């Protein structure tokens, strides 16, 4: 980029090869005059300058005549000015700044000087603060006014006469302490209603007469066997379905329950809440790990079987207990059925021995 100084020292002008430098754009009356003078002094024609800058001749003429209305958009004109100045060895930036001053951009909105908005805020801030304070005082005053209006002075009662029950004083029979009876026992945890038996239907289907003394005695002996508390869900039940499980572990109070397989993988893990239960699957080799064994009840085949014996309990041990209990129940039922059948056969044999044989009557002559 050539320097647009405008003047050269006298010792440079005395040289035989000296050629006067391009005049300064700043000394010209307008940008167009400065460009035209520089072109004329360089000896270049508009056609040569158009070939060098690749700008049409009519646009170069418009620049020299300051005819901004004949030029294209502002972005292209700035490029034309920069190319024109570079071709003549002038200061490009100085030429562009001269163009911007002589042809300001009217499309850009004017901006307020820096600090004016802040000064406006400082000027009006006392009024704004005073207005906010007045609004706040008005709201507080209105609330106080409403509360004062709602307050009422104490007034005598509207009751014309005192009810008779208020003037009797103590009620006869209630002048002393009330005697309470001893507390009653808590109701059973679970009750099972007695089954309804259609008369004659059981004897017809099973071949056993429920009115038979032997059957009644066997049933009485069976009723003497203790019946444990049945499993009663009191929360969510996890694990296997009811038809595929013989062991249920239920939490009496909150506690951690973790069931691990033989390889250490966790089959089930949960912080159990009170009443929640887990059904153990059949045929699975696992270990039950709990935080407190006394916090969990064990139910075998639906009946209470105590609490967990230890912190770590093999699941196979509980399943074995359930299978053993189921076998004992099945054997007991089979034994009672066989005893009933034997007693009935003995009773029928005794009746047949007492009854005399039938003898047909003989004919008399």
Name 237's bridge partners: 277
Q: How far is CA 181 from CA 20, 22, 175, 184, 262, in A?
A: 133, 128, 19, 9, 58
- Average pLDDT of 307-328? 89
- Please give the pLDDT value at position 43: 87
| Beta pairing class for 286-290 and 312-314 | antiparallel
- Average pLDDT of 251-269? 90
pTM: 0.37
- Please give the pLDDT value at position 362: 56
Q: How far is CA 220 from CA 133, 216, 224, 336, in A?
A: 92, 6, 7, 11
- Please give the pLDDT value at position 263: 86
- Please give the pLDDT value at position 283: 84
Lowest mean pLDDT among 276-285, 305-314, 347-356: 347-356
Residue 313, phi-psi category: left (phi > 0), alpha (psi -120 to 50), beta (remainder): beta
Lowest mean pLDDT among 99-103, 148-152, 168-172, 338-342: 168-172
d(CA 231, CA 299): 6
d(CA 3, CA 22): 10
Please report, to the nearest 10 degrees, the dihedral formed by the alpha carbons of residues 51, 57, 62, 63 taken in order: 10
Which of the two residues, 17 and 77, has the higher pLDDT score? 77
Confidence of residue 250 (pLDDT cuts 50, 70, 90): very high
Which residue is it, tokens 């038979």?
212
d(CA 96, CA 105): 13
CA-wise closest residue to 2 among 30, 28, 38? 38
Q: Rounded to the nearest 5°, which phi and psi values hold at 314?
A: -65, 135
Which of the two residues, 121 and 1, has the higher pLDDT score? 121
Instruction: Answer for the pair 181, 223: CB distance below 8 angstroms, yes or no.
Output: no
Instruction: Answer for the pair 240, 279: CB distance below 8 angstroms, yes or no.
Output: yes
Q: How far is CA 226 from CA 223, 272, 277, 303, in A?
A: 8, 30, 24, 11
- Average pLDDT of 70-75? 85
Question: Which tokens belong to 264?
Answer: 């250490």
Within 10 angstroms of residue 21's Cβ, the number of other Cβ atoms is: 19
Question: Which tokens belong to 75?
Answer: 């972005």
Structure letter (DSSP) for residue 230: B
Confidence of residue 133 (pLDDT cuts 50, 70, 90): very high
Instruction: Answer for the pair 271, 256: CB distance below 8 angstroms, yes or no.
Output: yes
Judge residue 294's burial from the number of C-beta atoms within 10 Å of its C-beta, 0-12 exposed, 13-18 middle, 19 or more buried: exposed
CA-wise closest residue to 340 among 218, 211, 201? 218
CA-wise closest residue to 96 among 118, 126, 74, 125? 74
């Amino acid at each position: 980029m050539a320097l647009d100084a405008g003047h050269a020292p006298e010792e440079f002008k005395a040289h035989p090869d000296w050629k006067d430098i391009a005049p300064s754009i700043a000394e010209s009356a307008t940008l167009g005059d400065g460009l035209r003078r520089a072109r004329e002094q360089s000896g270049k024609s508009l056609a040569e300058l158009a070939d060098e800058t690749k700008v049409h001749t009519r646009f170069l003429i418009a620049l020299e005549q300051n005819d901004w209305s004949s030029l294209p958009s502002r972005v292209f004109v700035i490029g034309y000015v920069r190319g024109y100045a570079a071709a003549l060895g002038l200061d490009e930036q100085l030429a562009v700044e001269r163009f911007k001053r002589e042809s300001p951009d009217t499309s850009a909105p004017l901006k307020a000087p820096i600090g004016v908005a802040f000064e406006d805020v400082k000027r009006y801030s006392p009024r704004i603060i005073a207005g906010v304070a007045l609004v706040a005082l008005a709201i507080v005053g209105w609330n106080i006014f409403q509360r004062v209006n709602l307050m009422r002075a104490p007034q005598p009662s509207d009751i014309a006469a005192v009810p008779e029950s208020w003037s009797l004083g103590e009620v006869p029979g209630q002048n002393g302490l009330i005697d309470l009876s001893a507390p009653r026992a808590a109701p059973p945890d679970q009750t099972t209603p007695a089954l309804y038996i259609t008369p004659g239907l059981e004897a017809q289907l099973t071949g056993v007469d429920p009115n038979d003394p032997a059957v009644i005695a066997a049933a009485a002996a069976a009723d003497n066997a203790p019946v444990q508390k049945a499993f009663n869900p009191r929360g969510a039940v996890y694990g296997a379905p009811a038809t595929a499980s013989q062991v249920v572990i239920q939490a009496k109070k909150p506690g951690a329950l973790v069931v691990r397989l033989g390889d250490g993988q966790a089959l089930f893990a949960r912080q159990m809440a009170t009443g929640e239960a887990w059904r153990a699957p059949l045929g699975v080799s696992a270990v039950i790990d709990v935080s407190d064994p006394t916090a969990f009840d064990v139910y075998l085949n639906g009946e209470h079987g105590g609490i967990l014996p230890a912190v770590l309990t093999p699941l196979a041990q509980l399943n074995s207990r359930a299978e053993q209990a189921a076998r004992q129940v099945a054997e007991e039922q089979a034994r009672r059925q066989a005893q009933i059948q034997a007693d009935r056969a003995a009773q029928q044999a005794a009746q047949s021995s007492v009854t005399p044989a039938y003898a047909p009557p003989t004919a008399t002559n």
